[in-house]
Amino acid sequence: MDKTVLNVNKLQTEFRMRRYTVYAVNGVSYDIHPGEIVGVVGESGCGKSVSQMSTLRLVPSPPAHIAGNAVYEGKDLVDPSNAEYLRSVRGGKIAMIFQEPMTSLNPVMKVGEQISEAIRLHMKLGANEARARTIELMKKVRIPDAEERYESYPHEFSGGMCQRLMIAMAMSCDPDLLIADESTTALDVTIQAQILEMLRDVVRETQTALLIVTHNLGIVARYADKIYVMYAGSVVEYGRAADIFTAPSHAYTIGLLNSVPRLDDDKDRMLMPIEGFPPNLQSRPEGCAFSARCTQKLPECASCSEFPLKMVGDGHYSLCINDHLDRSQRRSDTLFEAKRIPDETLLEIRGLHREFPVKKGILFKKTVGKVHALNDVNLRIRRGETLGLVGESGCGKTTLARSILGLISPTSGEILYQGTDLTKLDKRKTREMRKDIQLIFQDPFASLDPRMSIGSIIGEPLVVHKLTSGKAEYLKRVEELFIMVGLDPSLRDRSPHELSGGQRQRVGIARALASEPRFLVCDEPVSALDVSVQAQILNLLERLQRELGLTYLFIAHDLSVVRHISDTIAVMYLGRIVEKGDWKTLCKNPMHPYTRALLSAVPIPDPEIERTRNIEAIKGDVPSVSRLPGGCSFHPRCPYASADCAAAVPELRETEPGHFVACPVADAIRGAKSQAGSAE
């Protein structure tokens, strides 16, 4: 391991804009050895992607100014005089995979051509040889029917398949180093697991070094040999994966580990968010960049100008100058007091269906088929509880939320809210009902009107529903709402773009609370946020629920988040509920093969657990809702499927009190598993 593939030394990247400069990367150094898997973790804006892009000079310059060096085979890639050499290395010896697979491929070019383009360029092969190699690579990343798919265009592939193609493209010229920049963030968890397992196998087989850039601590725990933790453009700590997780030596790393909900922790653990927000880097940080948010800072942290990397263990270095860091907080035992949920139904959904017609025709469109977005959904939500709804993209979660809010009308079925059927209300009554049922959106950036002030966004429901009389009462109520969600009331006159993601999501929550609703539909409320901020919002939602007696329908794709906040969990797959039960039984004893796969696909931020655990990978992609497989919709991907599964749609049946599963073979699977377990 003496030879390094890439040696990055004191890399600095600044974006010199007309009015200000962003100091994105401030002296980052790292090296990678052949066959090694290195993880770079950090929150958005910490410079983890920019530093990778800078080594290959892929950041637009100007405005970017890059200093330092990145040495590959004795030549500095950052040096502009090596530009021609860099171009031969890019895509050939060092290749990158990006976050958005669907948009990273040229939509008007055949995918095979896009891969062979790189091969012809770097390996100087002829068209036919390049084509043969491309097909071979496509087979290696497990694209079915590779020969025929060579001629396909990107839109004919799913997101997961596109990412496989990107990997094939990156691997096309036998690179020495592969950089995967948040390459699975946009994918569903089961697909993420498929891709990462495959990627690891491919690089292990070819002894390619792999650098994984991600915000997901679980991923680096499972795959990385060495981890670099970045904050505000600097590496604050690095070392072997196991050391980082068992003996984190920087206050930020500790904070990060504390703020992530984990599939294996105590349910009522209060998450420990890192308060405040990451710096905007428009000035070079003085002292330790993290000191403003640090709970364990020393007096000299903010003033000290030099932070040398200090060795804290074998190959384990940290920038933190506090020698007596408290790591015990990692498993906070601050628990929320247990909720008592009365057995009183607030909302009940009975036999809900929603179909969207598929139309065809030249002049007069006629319906030729339908998409079944919701298929016989039955749910009951008790007053004061949180019902977590999980499922992958396209499973109908959002359609269900919109039906409850009356934004779309279901094809058939009932939605009973305190006994009244919401689907039968007229327009006026629906509007009145909106006071009681509110929505928190996923995207805190797009869901706030950019031209309104924060104060008027939050106060708007008060005006619409005429809830306050007089200016004084209005202002008092708005201020109350600001304080309730932990926002400084002096932000009242700011515009949304002046706030950070976490602050905006608080605005969204305050707006939803303005009309004093009893029921909140939270549609992926934290998926756009960084982990440290995500913890703040989750804690806020939990606190508000207890203080105001709210009931939540919490929709998310992230099982660890859902598990953390929910009392009851329902799992959806292609428009149907496949399993539901209280969180404990469902997570401890998942019965449906799909639930098992979902749970197994979520990486846990603990290398010890991850290294010994096998992922119950499921094959294939989520099928399109317009071509639903017959019988149980999961059977084509299910490892336990029998002929019966394709014949009839399985009913939800109660396997133990309060635990419903729509799988005929669930008992058999569990029996087999527990036998196998006891045999070991």
Minimum distance between the CB of residue 679 and other proteins, rounded to whole angstroms?
Answer: 49
Minimum distance between the CB of residue 442 and other proteins, rounded to whole angstroms?
Answer: 21
Stretch near other proteins under the rule CB under 8 A, chosen from 3-11, 104-112, 280-288, 390-398: 104-112
Nearer to other proteins, 211 or 645 (CB): 211
Strand partners, 360: 366
Nearer to other proteins, 25 or 263 (CB): 25
| Rounded Cα–Cα distance for residues 650 and 241 (Å) | 44
- Total binding residues for other proteins by CB under 8 A? 31
- Three-class SS of residue 399? helix
Task: Select the residue interacting with other proteins from 109, 464, 647, 648 (CB under 8 A).
Answer: 109
Minimum distance between the CB of residue 259 and other proteins, rounded to whole angstroms?
Answer: 30
The answer to whether residue 624 forms part of the interface with other proteins (CB under 8 A) is: no
The answer to whether residue 121 forms part of the interface with other proteins (CB under 8 A) is: yes
Write out the two tokens for 341: 């949920």
Nearer to other proteins, 109 or 302 (CB): 109
Which H or E run contains 645? helix 643-647
Minimum distance between the CB of residue 160 and other proteins, rounded to whole angstroms?
Answer: 17
Nearer to other proteins, 90 or 637 (CB): 90
Task: Select the residue interacting with other proteins from 204, 359, 546, 584 (CB under 8 A).
Answer: 359
Q: Would you report the helix, strand and coil content of the chain in percent, each value rounded to 5?
A: 35, 25, 40
The answer to whether residue 122 forms part of the interface with other proteins (CB under 8 A) is: yes
Strand partners, 32: 6
Task: Select the residue interacting with other proteins from 155, 284, 331, 673 (CB under 8 A).
Answer: 155
Nearer to other proteins, 95 or 513 (CB): 95
Minimum distance between the CB of residue 101 and other proteins, rounded to whole angstroms?
Answer: 9
Nearer to other proteins, 18 or 451 (CB): 18
CA 178 → CA 33, 85, 170, 221, 630, distances in Å? 12, 18, 7, 18, 41
- Three-class SS of residue 618? coil
Nearer to other proteins, 199 or 540 (CB): 199
CB proximity list for 145: less than 8 A, separation 6 or greater? none
CB proximity list for 588: less than 8 A, separation 6 or greater? none
Say which amino acid occupies 92. Answer: G
Nearer to other proteins, 120 or 354 (CB): 120
Minimum distance between the CB of residue 76 and other proteins, rounded to whole angstroms?
Answer: 17
Stretch near other proteins under the rule CB under 8 A, chosen from 101-109, 373-381, 527-535, 545-553: 101-109
The answer to whether residue 130 forms part of the interface with other proteins (CB under 8 A) is: no
Return phi, psi of residue 137, to 5°: -65, -40
3-state secondary structure 86-135: HHHHECCCEEEECCCHHHHCCCCCCHHHHHHHHHHHHHCCCHHHHHHHHH
Task: Select the residue interacting with other proteins from 74, 306, 328, 362 (CB under 8 A).
Answer: 362
CA 322 → CA 117, 238, 245, 254, distances in Å? 52, 16, 18, 13
- Three-class SS of residue 183? coil
Upper half-sphere CA count for residue 370 (Cβ side, 13 Å): 11
| Rounded Cα–Cα distance for residues 263 and 175 (Å) | 36
The answer to whether residue 107 forms part of the interface with other proteins (CB under 8 A) is: yes
The answer to whether residue 87 forms part of the interface with other proteins (CB under 8 A) is: yes
Chain centroid to Cα 218, Å, comes to 11
The answer to whether residue 360 forms part of the interface with other proteins (CB under 8 A) is: yes
Contact 587, 553 (CB under 8 A): no
Tell me which residue of 448, 350, 403 sits closest to 553, measured CA to CA.
403
The answer to whether residue 90 forms part of the interface with other proteins (CB under 8 A) is: yes
The answer to whether residue 117 forms part of the interface with other proteins (CB under 8 A) is: yes
Minimum distance between the CB of residue 637 and other proteins, rounded to whole angstroms?
Answer: 25
The answer to whether residue 178 forms part of the interface with other proteins (CB under 8 A) is: no
Residue whose token pair is 């290294």: 611
Residue whose token pair is 């072997």: 240
Beta strand 177-181 pairing with 64-72:
unpaired
Task: Select the residue interacting with other proteins from 31, 76, 79, 100 (CB under 8 A).
Answer: 100
Task: Select the residue interacting with other proteins from 10, 34, 73, 88 (CB under 8 A).
Answer: 88
The answer to whether residue 105 forms part of the interface with other proteins (CB under 8 A) is: yes
Return phi, psi of residue 459, to 5°: -80, -15
CB atoms within 10 A of CB 109: 12
Nearer to other proteins, 165 or 224 (CB): 165
Task: Select the residue interacting with other proteins from 66, 70, 96, 377 (CB under 8 A).
Answer: 96
Residue whose token pair is 């000079």: 57
- What is the side-by-side strand order in the sheet with 21-32? 21-32, 6-16, 64-72, 75-76
Task: Select the residue interacting with other proteins from 17, 34, 67, 106 (CB under 8 A).
Answer: 106
| Rounded Cα–Cα distance for residues 464 and 173 (Å) | 61
The answer to whether residue 581 forms part of the interface with other proteins (CB under 8 A) is: no
Minimum distance between the CB of residue 63 and other proteins, rounded to whole angstroms?
Answer: 11
Minimum distance between the CB of residue 40 and other proteins, rounded to whole angstroms?
Answer: 17
| Rounded Cα–Cα distance for residues 312 and 238 (Å) | 10
Tell me which residue of 186, 109, 170 sits closest to 138, measured CA to CA.
170
Stretch near other proteins under the rule CB under 8 A, chosen from 88-96, 223-231, 380-388, 561-569: 88-96
The answer to whether residue 92 forms part of the interface with other proteins (CB under 8 A) is: yes
Site for other proteins in 502-521 (CB under 8 A): none
- Three-class SS of residue 251? helix
Site string for other proteins, 45-64 (x = CB under 8 A): -----------x-x------
Minimum distance between the CB of residue 365 and other proteins, rounded to whole angstroms?
Answer: 8
Stretch near other proteins under the rule CB under 8 A, chosen from 81-89, 465-473, 512-520, 530-538: 81-89
Minimum distance between the CB of residue 159 and other proteins, rounded to whole angstroms?
Answer: 13
| Rounded Cα–Cα distance for residues 518 and 552 (Å) | 9
Chain residues binding other proteins by CB under 8 A are 56, 58, 87-92, 95-96, 98, 100, 103-109, 117-118, 121-122, 153, 155-156, 166, 169, 359-360, 362
